[in-house]
Amino acid sequence: MSARENILARIRSANKVAKNPDVIGGTAVDRIKAHPSSPLPTLDWENENHFKLRCHELASSLDQIDSLDHLPKAVNRYLNENDLPKKIVCWPEFADLNWSDENLQMEGRSAVGEDKVGLTGSYCAIAETGTLVMLSGEDQHATTSLLPETHIAVVSRSRILRTMEEAWELIRNETESVPRQVNFISGPSRTADIEMTLVYGAHGPYRVHVIITE
């Protein structure tokens, strides 16, 4: 018999032997179909404010704009404040904004090792944890939020959700099947592997800047 058959057979026989009651009940197929939610945090918060608070705790910086037309100005302001290069790699959806007015060089493609600043959108955001949710896709390159030292992410105010459960529900409703990768990004890359000292920019971005738009 194959390893697969052996393992499954051993699981079945072990589960017959063990006297552990299944406290939740139901079959595997039932639970997957119903995907019931477990207890959620009971604390009350206003999503946008809580999201901002969490971003702050995670060392993500924040800005907000009224419409995407103002994005070039906001991006330029952030780059100037932090003394960052004006050459940016972005998701194609942002490539056609008026970047030249701000003297920004914008390239809509997947990122490579040399790129210093990456601009992405986000599928939604989670207030509970200050998290950006990114789905991989043809024009939503995973590398853009990963390789550059600075990651600027645009979040739509109406898509700031309460919990990860709500994000999953949105994905279930809006996509045919889950994309190759769903990335939950919460602040800049970090490590504390040397003497518990917190250091930003372990392998991913040193900086995450979140711009909330209408």
Partner 1 sequence: MEITSQQFKAVSSSKLKDAKLQKALKQAKGGFVVSRAKVVKELDNFEEIRQAASDVRDHCLAHLDSYLEEWERRAQEAGTVVHWAESYEELNSIVVQIAQDNQVKKIIKSKSMVGEETGLNQYVEGHGIEVKETDLGEYIIQQAGEHPSHIIAPATHKSKDDVSELFAEKHKRPRLDDAEKLTHEAREILRPHFLDADMGITGANFMIAETGSTVIVTNEGNGRMTTTMPRVHVAISSIEKCLPTLDDFALMMRLLPRSATGQVISNYVSMTTGPKRAGDKDGPEKFHVIILDVGRTRVLGSELRDALRCIRCGACMNHCPVYQNVGGHAYGWVYPGPIGSVLTPAYNGIENAIDLPNAATMCNQCGVVCPVKIPLPDLMRKLREKQFEKKLKSNMEHWSLRLWAYLALRPKIYSIVTRVMARIGRILGGDSRRIRRMIIVGQDWTKNRDMPAPSGRTFRDIYLNKMNKR
Chosen residue from 72, 121, 148, 204 binding partner 1 by CB under 8 A:
204
Q: Nearest distance from residue 198's CB to partner 1, in Å?
A: 9
Return the number of the residue (72 or 94) whose C-beta is nearest partner 1.
94
Check residue 61 for interaction with partner 1 (CB under 8 A). Answer: no
- Rounded-to-integer distance, Cα 98 and Cα 106, Å: 10
Amino acid at 183: N
Residue 58's nearest CA partner among 206, 169, 172, 188 is 188
Chosen residue from 2, 67, 103, 173 binding partner 1 by CB under 8 A:
2
Alpha-helical (H) ranges within 23-120 are 28-34, 47-57, 71-81
Which residues are paired to 153 by β-bridges? Answer: 120, 210
Return the number of the residue (16 or 83) whose C-beta is nearest partner 1.
16
Q: Nearest distance from residue 25's CB to partner 1, in Å?
A: 8
Q: Nearest distance from residue 98's CB to partner 1, in Å?
A: 25
Q: Nearest distance from residue 20's CB to partner 1, in Å?
A: 6
The DSSP bridge pattern shows strands 124-126 and 150-156 to be unpaired
CB neighbours of residue 159 within 10 Å: 17
Q: Which two tokens stand for residue 84?
A: 């960052």
Region 120-149 residues binding partner 1, contact defined as CB under 8 A:
128-131, 136-138, 141-143, 146
Check residue 173 for interaction with partner 1 (CB under 8 A). Answer: no
Buried b / exposed e over 29-48, threshold 16 CB at 10 Å, is: eeeeeeeeeeeeeeeeeebb
Q: Nearest distance from residue 109's CB to partner 1, in Å?
A: 8
Tell me the window of 64-72, 74-82, 152-160, 197-205 that interacts with partner 1 (CB under 8 A): 197-205
- CB of 141 within 8 A of CB of 95? no
Region 6-25 residues binding partner 1, contact defined as CB under 8 A:
6-8, 10-15, 17-18, 20, 22-25
